Structure 1
Amino acid sequence: MGTVLMTGAWSAAATASTPADSAGYAALMHTLSHGQERLLKTVPTSVPGLSGLVVESLTGQKSLVFGLDNSYLIVGPIIGANGKVLNETLAQSAGLLPKPLSVKVLALRALHAPGFVLGHAGPMLVAFMDPNCIFCHRFYESERANLQAGKLRIKVVPVGFLKPSSLPKAVSILEAKHPAAAWAADESGFNVKTEEGAAKPAANLKVPATAQIRANTRLLARSGEVATPTILACLKGAAAPVLWRGISPEAQKNIPGKLTDLLPTGSCAG
């Protein structure tokens, strides 16, 4: 799996690719996939030389990869300096992703998704988090005292997309005898300079947890954006949960005092 980090905002252009681009990438795809994949169309981006490629397997499954300068194929996440994943943006524009779920339905599915709970008492919220996510780390650190004091609970839905080590780290955490403790260890040893969690990547990905982490990441995509932390919570007095992309220092003040329980039904305790 390759990862390309580039700066600037991502956007899909409305114009079609040139026939030469399509022909070149079609031949490249056929050669490198040994005839197992064929190019359906190209999707231009605002990054010079970079194109999204909608491909189809022999079984009819469609997916998105990227081509660079008509000479390279990139399989894996492409992340801008703003932290947004270009794959999801282009997949939506190419019609490969369904419309985002409502917040209530997303909350319901997230509550029942593979994961674990941090804290032992207090209002429950849900957070999609990547073990290498610096903003998740800051959120965790800001709420660690509340978790330990029984003032807040966080259902962590672990995902893995930010770095090549994210998936194997998330797998090792979910496979641990005590996943909550494994997550706490990942956070306690977090390297803020390299933005790397301390979890040891799983050496074997042929385990059920791998499919579970990938399913969690797909569920995160159904929120409309692959970004962490994505938080689902219930404000006091509200009937339905709200969705936060990250959380500002101001909003982090007295989080337990602002919240009520997110119920297993995806609704709020009121």
Structure 2
Amino acid sequence: MSAKLKRTLAGGIASGLLLISVPAWATDGSVPQAFQAGANTIVKMSKGQAHILKSWTTPAGLYGYAVQIAPGHDLIMYTTTDGKYLFMGGLFNADGKNYSVEYGRKYLPAGAVPHPVTPAQVASGLKDTTNFIVGNPKARKTIWMVADPNCIFCHKAWQKLYPYVQKGDLSIHMIPVGFLKPSSLPKAATILASKEPANAWARDEKGFNDAAEEGSLTPMANIPQEDRLEIQKNGQWMNAHGISGTPFLLYKNPAGGWSATPGMPENVKLFMEQVG
């Protein structure tokens, strides 16, 4: 564990829009028939890993779902009634009411309910997650990155940011989580268990299979339980802070305050200018 640091990150709700086809198979029958199409889509996206805890109709005409992706990682999702479109993130009305927070409190396990935090509040507790540093710790710019080893958008963010690491301009505190696929947690725990986690993460990224959305690392046959638990704790922390997607980036801005960016930076040059 000497190569690892204990840190915390925080954030907000990531949002996204995905279009996929409806699977031909059904869930186990615990979801009402009207919600089956959306439930099937959610389960298919998770490679069979998701468990639907509750389903309901929202004022926006979307179907809502309380979903457990992995132990300690529970979140609210929405689909169109035909199940072809899936949404994650805040659902607001014209008055600014966030239904996602209300649904989280009502339908998610008590420990999984997100609470509003600012980047500064999160940064004050950076000691609460397990992470490791990629790059020169004395680099002029530093960011904190929550990432899953099978996350295609984490991979794309890595491709954009890693050249700055190689030039010595940036260091990244990687906070590994494992919830996207069944192999995510074993891969993340294997990276933590490595003598040089930064190199192990780089290997996972170097051979990343974009088509399959799979990191290239092969999990260890016997992963230390300690490292599995650390990844699970990172996932519980991520969930508790309302971070429903990866990557999630935290950094100090040029004014010296804390800022957060959910998702992949589209313009990496502009993003780097925003990092103090």
Report the number of matched residues.
205
Q: Does 1:48 align with 2:66?
A: no
Deviation at 1:93, TM superposition (A): 3.7
Structure 1 residues 144 and 76 mapped into 2: Cα distance closer, same or farther (>3 Å)?
closer
* Aligned residue number for residue 177 of structure 1: 195
Deviation at 1:76, TM superposition (A): 4.1
Cα distance in structure 1, aligned partners of 2:162 and 2:270: 12
Structure 1 residues 49 and 178 mapped into 2: Cα distance closer, same or farther (>3 Å)?
same
Q: Does 1:94 align with 2:82?
A: no
Q: Secondary structure at the match of 1:177?
A: coil
Structure 1 residues 234 and 45 mapped into 2: Cα distance closer, same or farther (>3 Å)?
farther
1:213 counterpart (231, 237, 248): 231
Any residues of structure 2 matched to 1:103-182 within 5 Å, and which? 103-110=119-126, 112-120=128-136, 121-182=139-200
Structure 1 residues 45 and 233 mapped into 2: Cα distance closer, same or farther (>3 Å)?
farther
Cα distance in structure 2, aligned partners of 1:108 and 1:143: 25
* Aligned residue number for residue 44 of structure 2: none
Any residues of structure 2 matched to 1:192-203 within 5 Å, and which? 192-203=210-221
Deviation at 1:124, TM superposition (A): 1.1
* Aligned residue number for residue 242 of structure 1: 259
Deviation at 1:245, TM superposition (A): 0.9
Normalization by structure 1: what TM-score? 0.64
Structure 1 residues 178 and 46 mapped into 2: Cα distance closer, same or farther (>3 Å)?
farther
Q: CA RMSD in A?
A: 3.7
Structure 1 unmatched runs, 5+: 1-6, 10-23, 26-41, 52-63, 261-270
Cα distance in structure 2, aligned partners of 1:243 and 1:138: 18
Q: Contact 1:49 / 1:68 at 8 angstroms: preserved in 2? A: no
Q: Contact 1:152 / 1:256 at 8 angstroms: preserved in 2? A: no
Listed one character per residue, the Cα deviations across residues 24-81 of structure 1 (whole Å, up to 9, x for unaligned) are 96xxxxxxxxxxxxxxxx9x89833778xxxxxxxxxxxx953699xxxx97459877
Cα distance in structure 1, aligned partners of 2:165 and 2:182: 29
Structure 2 unmatched runs, 5+: 1-17, 21-28, 40-49, 56-66, 80-84, 90-99
Q: Secondary structure at the match of 1:225?
A: coil
Q: Contact 1:126 / 1:231 at 8 angstroms: preserved in 2? A: yes
* Aligned residue number for residue 227 of structure 1: 245
Cα distance in structure 2, aligned partners of 1:234 and 1:46: 46
Moved more, 202-211 or 149-158: 202-211
* Aligned residue number for residue 52 of structure 2: 66
Q: Contact 2:104 / 2:114 at 8 angstroms: preserved in 1? A: no
Q: Secondary structure at the match of 1:200?
A: coil
Listed one character per residue, the Cα deviations across residues 189-244 of structure 1 (whole Å, up to 9, x for unaligned) are 100010000111233355101111011111111331321001111110142x1121
Identify the structure with bigger relative contact order (alpha carbons < 8 Å, sequence gap 6+): 2
Q: Contact 1:168 / 1:203 at 8 angstroms: preserved in 2? A: no
Q: Contact 1:232 / 1:244 at 8 angstroms: preserved in 2? A: yes
Cα distance in structure 1, aligned partners of 2:266 and 2:151: 17
Structure 1 residues 131 and 67 mapped into 2: Cα distance closer, same or farther (>3 Å)?
same
Deviation at 1:158, TM superposition (A): 0.2
* Aligned residue number for residue 8 of structure 2: none
Normalization by structure 2: what TM-score? 0.63
